[in-house]
Each structure stands twice: as C-alpha cells, then as structure tokens.
Amino acid sequence: MQTVRMIGCASIALVATFTLSSCGSSITGSPTAAEIDVRKLDTGGYSSDPAYMHFDPTPSLEITKQLAAMRLLNHVANGTEIDPSLTYNTASEITDPYDKFESEGLPTNFRDILKNNEMLYGVEAGKKQNESSDPQDGDKFVGLTIYQFPTPDAAQTANSALEAADFSIAGDQNEKVQLEKYPEALTHWRPGIRTIGSRLTVGSYVLRVFTRAPKANLPDLKAQLQRIFDVQVPMLEKLPALSKREILHLPHDPEGVHRIAFAPDYLLDGPSLSVDASLTGHGAINMTGPFGEKLIEEGHVDAVGTRVVDGTTLWRSSDNAGADAVVEKFRQQVKQPIAPPKGVPDSFCDEADMSKEIFTDHRYRCVVRYRQYVARVSGPQIADAQQRAAAQYAILANSW
C-alpha cells in the first residue's frame, strides 16, 4: 500500500524576491485618546510600517498555488473532528506532481498520473495521537491527501489510475474492500495489516485517505474510513474548485494577517503554507497540537498569520474577550520571564527551552497585544526580541 509522508516541521528555507531598504515610520500626527505614541517606542532598526505599505506582490501561478493550498487547508478536517484522540496535526502543500513522490522511492507512474491529468495543487495532512511521526503500538493515525484537477472527469480518471497503481504495488496481497456508505470509493487493504486506504472523487477533487487502527480488524477500519468521509466530504462539497485563472488571481493575504505580522525587513515573503501562511483559525489548527488548538478555540481566533523563519506568529480574535484569553494562555506558559519591551502595554517576554530546538536560535520570545490582535515574536538576543516586539505593536497600531 502506498505510504504517506507527513511533514512534522516546516522547512526553514526562504527565497528573497525583493530587497528594500529600511526607513522610519511614515505615520505622522498625534496618537488618539487611550493610544500610546508608538513613535517613541524603541524599535531599534526595525520599521514600524506594515509590509503592505512597501510591497505590492506580482502574481504568478507558482506563487498563487500556495494560496490555493492554504484555501484548501481551511477546508480540511481537524483531527479532533474525526476522533477526539487525534490532537496532533501536520500539513504541507502540494504545488507540483513531483512534490511528494520523488523522495519516497515510489514508482514514477504515481507522479506521471498527476501530471498527465493536470493536477493543479493539493494538500497533505496528518492526524496523530502524539508528536511522533513513527507508528506506535495500538495507535490511530489518519492521513489525508487532497488534489484538485481542472475538471471532474480529470479527477475521476486520475483517481482510478492512482488506485490501480497503488493496488499493484502488492497486488498478490491486497484485497479490494467495499464501503457500504460510500460504494463509489476505491478501497483496499492488506489482510493482517492494521491500515487501509481509500480514494474518492468529490467534484474536481480527489480525496485519498490512509488510516491506521489499533488492530487489523476490517470492520473497525471500514468504520474509521466512513467516519473520515462523513466529516471531510461535506467540507469539499462546499469549496468551489478553481480554474488556473482563478488561482492566479487569489488574494495574496486572504485573512489580512500575514501582511501585518512582524518581519525584520520590508519583504512580504511567501506565500508559503509551511512558513509564510495566512489561514483561518480552522485551517491553522491543521498545523498545530493540543495547546494550539485550545488557544485558537478558547481565544475565538478567526485568522492566523505566520512568518516561521522570522519567528513571528499573529493571531486575530473575533472579539476582545478572545484576545484576552490568548494572552492569558501564553502568560500561563511563561517559566523563565525576562523584561518586556519598555512602553508596550501589557507585553511580556520569556526565555524558551531550547533543549529540543534545532531549527532556530531565537531563544527569547515576547507577546504583545493590540485590540483583537495578539502576536508572539522571537529573537536571538533579549534586546532584539524586545525591539521586535515594540515594532510589532507599532505595526498593528499603524495598520488599517
């Protein structure tokens, strides 16, 4: 059976498209009542202007496929919607037929099928019971792979071909399985193995499910598959498929949060689902664990912007009470507090535990809140983290 590679952490590679010189804030005039004068904050050499004031992205299909993947991820089921025990979520984008197969040693016909049927983009999402990417004794796992094709006919052709190619990998051992509730789904398993795979077309989408149950019990595996389809299929039915033209003209920052998340320069990096994303709260849960899901739910978070390489994440709550809850959740996590940025209301900072960190040297973190926005920024030095936090606060205050 075809294996599924799940992305547990984002790639820390970023290609800079433009380099723009830094300059001071262009905001003039006096602060309004109850607002601090952000011009007096110590932002170091960082700008307090939102990135969108200096950068107007030029669309290309390569870039906007990332936006299409984000849009799709916003309509992918969270793990706990499928099973309350699936509290760890991972996700990655698919923008090319070669994205997910070349490194896995699978037959080239998988990617050829995608290419020949003009696969446009997709996402891959994993739902786990723990942080480990490796199977655990008696655990459950759900892997969802969703592709969009130009037409329903292309999706149907690709779906049948992918299932035939997958089945043939161990054709002498695999057995076809019929799902009573979804008879059109193409399903097979290998008797004695506690996994099962199934493919289903939903309009122009191909939905592939790979799931693992505690035991190699076919009725349980079928029930698990049908539960996954019950949750995921209606989400896809509500999401109109996109043409190439529509993909090209997708909004660069659909939730309006990535462009006001702090970056150390004026580059409006991305978009990239893995490292520079603009997602709904629901979509963001698909890239987080139990703490992140509770933060989003209890904080009434409706949008999240990420700049992973820069160490910035921005949450937008639907109301002030939600933003209060987000701040409190982070405050409860502080174990090694450090001084907050001077003059930034209600901000706080801490030193992170770096014992398991291999992707960044940003050990100092600060949380700032402005109205319904809460941001966490980080830096390698205390003063740098404080200046980044002050700049992030100013950016939020200067945004409209």
The residue that leads in pLDDT, 52 or 159, is 159
**Domain ranges within the chain, ordered by starting residue:** 41-56+251-398, 76-238
Q: Which residue has the higher pLDDT, 258 or 302?
A: 302
Q: How confident is the model at residue 62 (pLDDT cuts 50, 70, 90)?
A: confident
CA dihedral over 21, 23, 28, 32, signed as positive or negative = positive
Share of the chain above pLDDT 90, in %: 72
pLDDT mean over 192-210? 98
Mean pLDDT along residues 59-75 = 92
Within 10 A of 35 (CB to CB), how many other CB atoms are there? 11
Q: Fill in the DSSP letter of residue 144.
A: E
Task: Identify the pLDDT of residue 274.
Answer: 86
Per-residue buried b or exposed e for 222-244, using 16+ beta carbons within 10 Å of the residue's own CB:
bebbebbbeebbebbeebebbee
d(CA 389, CA 202): 44
* Mean pLDDT computed over every residue of the chain: 88
pLDDT at 329: 97
In the predicted structure, residue 207 carries a pLDDT above the cut 70: yes
User: Please, are residues 205 and 249 in contact by the beta-carbon 8 Å criterion?
Assistant: no
Sign of CA dihedral 258, 260, 265, 268: positive
Amino acid present at 66: Q
Sequence-ordered list of residues with C-beta below 8 angstroms from that of 242, at least 6 positions apart, any chain: 68, 71, 120, 148, 250
> Exposed, middle or buried by CB within 10 Å (0-12, 13-18, 19+), for 56?
exposed
Eight-class DSSP state of 215? S
Which pLDDT does position 99 carry in this prediction?
A: 76
The pLDDT confidence band at residue 34, using thresholds 50, 70 and 90, is low
* Average confidence (pLDDT) over 360-371: 91
> 117 pLDDT exceeds 50?
yes
Task: Return the percentage of the chain with pLDDT > 70, whole number.
Answer: 86
Of 47, 39, 45, 63, the residue nearest 266 (C-alpha): 47
Grade residue 18 by pLDDT with cuts at 50, 70 and 90.
very low
Over residues 57-81, mean pLDDT: 92
Predicted confidence (pLDDT) per residue in 219-244, tens digit: 999 999 999 999 999 999 999 999 99
Q: Report pLDDT for 269.
A: 57
Residue 200, pLDDT > 80, answer yes
Structure tokens given for 66: 């990332």
Average pLDDT score over residue span 331-354:
94
> What's the CA gap between 25 and 47, in Å, rounded?
6
Q: Give me the CATH topology for the region 76-238.
A: Protein Transport Mog1p; Chain A (3.40.1000)
Give the 3-state secondary structure of residue 281.
helix
Q: Say if residue 371's pLDDT is above 70.
A: yes
Angle subtended at Cα 176 by Cα 174 and Cα 181, rounded to the nearest 5 degrees: 145
What is the rounded average pLDDT of the residues 168-178? 95
99 or 36, higher pLDDT: 36
pLDDT of residue 238: 98
Q: What distance in Å separates the CA atoms of residue 326 and residue 369, rounded to the nearest whole number?
A: 9
Average pLDDT over residues 271-281: 91
Report the C-alpha gap between 214 and 138 in whole angstroms.
4
Model pLDDT, residue 28: 39
Number of CB atoms found within 10 A of residue 392's CB: 30
DSSP letter at 335?
S
pLDDT (tens digit, 9 = 90+) per residue, 72-97? 999 999 999 999 999 999 999 999 98
Per-residue pLDDT reduced to its tens digit, 373-399? 999 999 999 999 999 999 999 999 998
Q: What are the tokens at 265?
A: 């320069």
